[in-house]
Structure 1
Amino acid sequence: MANNRITVLLCLLSILAGRSVGSESFSGQTERERLRAIKPVIVHAEIIKEPASVPSAHASTIVETDDGLLAAWFGGTYERHPDVSIYTSGFRNGQWSDPVMVADGVQDESQRFPCWNPVLFKRENGDLILYYKVGPSPSTWWGEYKISTDEGETWSAMETIPRGCLGPVKNKPVILPGGKILYPTSIEIVGKWNVYMEMSDQDLTDWEKIEIDNNGFDAIQPSVLFHKDGALQILCRSKNESVVESWSYDNGKTWSPLTATELPNNNSGTDAVTLSNGLQLIIYNPVTSGRNKLAIAGSYDGKIWEKLIDIEDQPAGEFSYPAIIQDKEGNIHVTYTYNRERIKYVQLKL
């Protein structure tokens, strides 16, 4: 009888604490049910055209413009080849324009380096900024950028990001309350991967670095999410078979040590976005090896995640390095590497 009373008491205490004995929290169950009820629908999908002279494409980025969308990626003979340059294509009236080369790694008449990982971003005055990397390898590259005042039709001369900073390493920056630009970034030195953050003014001056305790993880390429309580969260690629995270509760000035999430990772890039309704989305490879599957998962609290839709699920192939945004009408736009040959575009509605 005493044992029965103890069991009942434990159950009551568990219920009051929001958890049932031996199972997930009631709040967690409700959260998962809410997420499972979300049914994204693909409304448009196509391969963005590529010049015949460019056999390889990778690491795309996408941004909304006043009259449509603009995508960018690096393309050339193959990744690391000195001829790899940055290309852009605009989506207007339902069509992607012919790609245009907008940046290269030419140093002088005798020296040229490959370009890497473009990132498109619109600052508060409406200018588009194209950030990208130049250099022989990720361990030796540096950051450059160009600015467009006409929605990506033309670009300024190249500017170099101050030495010691890189700018966004793969995923889009965000504008913080108060106007500062926060850059999710990382370094890839042989034997050491490390996530950290950078910050600048809107005019791309006063750059500063913000260190993060990587807590023993080998992680790179973070993306930033906003939560209703003012917290910021980053989600990062890792070599540790999990997407890893860090949190900031002071507008990005300090960050918690990295920890693993429940999301798998195959040591390939991800991207994430906070929707206008507060739903968090991550686009990722939902596996720990291979790149033949690509999916979108959702969360309301950044902790409990549910896969919402498979974007690619094929026996073989590479579908990787995605980018994801929401436009002002609420549509979701995605680009990603398609078999290392082209960039694929997908539009979804929730």
Structure 2
Amino acid sequence: MRSFFPSVLPRGWTRRALVPLITLTAAMAAGTSLGAQPASVTAGIRLAAESWPSQGSPVPSVHASTIAEVRDTLVVAWFGGAYESAPNVEIWLSRRASRDDRAAWTQPVAVANGVQPDGRRFPTWNPVLDAPGGARLVLYYKVGPNPRDWWGMRTDSNDGGHTWSTPQRLPAGVYGPIKNKLVRLRDGTLVSGSSTEGALPANPWRVHFERSEDDGVTWQRVSPARSTRDIDAIQPTLLQHSDGQLQALVRTRGPGVVHTTFSTNGGRTWSALTPTALPNPDAGIDAVTLRDGRHVLVLNPVAKDRTPLSLVTSRDGLAWQPLLTLEDGPGEYSYPAIVQAGDGRVHVVYTWRRERIRHVTVLVP
């Protein structure tokens, strides 16, 4: 198997540490089952519950879900309509008690659309929920005819997602979290992973980050250092290391593997993108840093197609080991989002064949 060694390693890492990551890639490519993994990795890992937040949705196509917990309530949002990019695509939302796996999801309701003051209507895209604390929720999303020409929007809720403020357009050049949740640093700074998709025919994909030191009132846009060659990459997901470093893992087009970049100063500057050995079939990923410092990543661990969908884990963001396969049948299982709830359980939502949004609860001892 081809080896994808980064040209520059993060502080404290060695090339020897890359071996487990390449082993993971080889195991997944060969279809190694979860049962064949070391007991120390998989012991106690189990799927505790599953449900369908989009149940009862009046539209045929749903995609790109996001999840947050607010006051012991799970809130899930996604975009849905006749088909992706149709003018009637809106942002839909459903809620459920987070600690009661038997609780029903509320009937999905539309909370944002792309209707313009002049009567024109554009599709909405890629909602991202943020839970700043208390009963507050912030919903970021995009509006526009396509990802090359969309713009960022924001709406706020002070009652756990029951009601929402009048949506506000983000400043020019600021898109908000483009697919995955933002992170809060110890000093309160918000760091959001974002990206752009350029004009046709070249359609370059470029990653950037957006920082706010005033709780999202103003934003500073920051790009990674230039690589030796331009990498088509979008949709960063952020990890927070115990030494204060930030790490982003990003979706790519062309190389067939996830790329990564690091910041040692709170997201003010970032290293050049370098390849990992994690496969990526040009599909969305998401990750979460657990309270014990471990990282859990959900991805399609293959170079082609959006199945299977799996969880992998790492202590250092580099050496990844398989945890659990969520889907391995035919079809598309994609665009995951992952959070850890207050009770320590991990929640994942994702697109199920473009027809439904599936939610699973995972116990990660």
Specify which of 39, 43, 49 is matched with residue 54 of structure 2: 49
Pick from 257, 270, 294 the counterpart of residue 255 of structure 1: 270
1:276 aligns with 2:288: no
Count of aligned pairs between the two proteins: 326
**2:307 counterpart letter in structure 1:** N
Is 1:194 the counterpart of 2:194 in the alignment?
Answer: no
Match of 2:334 in 1: 320
RMSD after superposition? 2.2
Greater share of strand: 1
Cα displacement (A) at 1:179 = 0.8
CA offsets 1:36-67 (integer angstroms, 9 cap, x no match): 34542001012223445300000000001103
Cα distance in 1 for partners of 2:40, 2:147 equals 37
- Inter-partner Cα distance in structure 2 for 1:186 and 1:54: 28
- Give the drift of 1:205: 1.6
Q: Which amino acid aligns with 2:91?
A: I
User: Which residue pairs with 2:344 in the alignment?
Assistant: 330
Larger Rg: 1 or 2?
1
Distance in 1 of aligned mates of 2:177 and 2:52: 25
Q: How far apart, in 1, do the equivalents of 2:319 and 2:360 lie? A: 25
Contact 2:115 2:122 in 1 (8 A): yes
Answer yes or no: is 1:210 the counterpart of 2:215.
no
Q: TM-score normalised to the size of structure 1?
A: 0.88
Structure 1 residue aligned with 2:168: 159
Identity %: 42
2:79 aligned with 1:65: no
Which structure has more relative contact order (CA 8 Å, sep 6+)? It is: 2
Answer whether contact 2:57 2:108 (CA < 8 A) is retained: no
CA distance in 2, matches of 1:89, 1:175: 24
Distance between the aligned counterparts of 1:145 and 1:207, measured in 2? 13
Q: 2:126 aligns with which of 113, 117, 120?
A: 117
Residues 1:257 and 1:54: Cα distance change in structure 2 (over 3 Å): same
SS at match of 1:111: coil
Residue ranges of structure 1 left out of the alignment (5+ in a row): 1-17
For 2:190 and 2:64, locate their aligned partners in 1 and report how far apart those are by CA, in whole Å: 22
Preserved CA contact (<8 Å) 1:49 1:99: yes
Using the alignment, how far apart are the partners of 2:272 and 2:236 within structure 1? Answer: 14
Runs of 4+ in structure 1 off by over 6 angstroms are none
Quote the residue 1:349 is aligned against. 363
| 1:292-334 Cα distance to aligned partner (Å, 9 max, x none) | 21000000011101111100011x1110000000011100000
Cα distance in 2 for residues equivalent to 1:214 and 1:242: 18
What is the match of residue 321 of structure 2? 306
User: Which residue matches 1:170?
Assistant: 179
The answer on whether the counterparts of 1:237 and 1:268 sit within 8 Å (CA) in structure 2 is: yes
Gaps of 5+ in 2: 1-13, 25-36
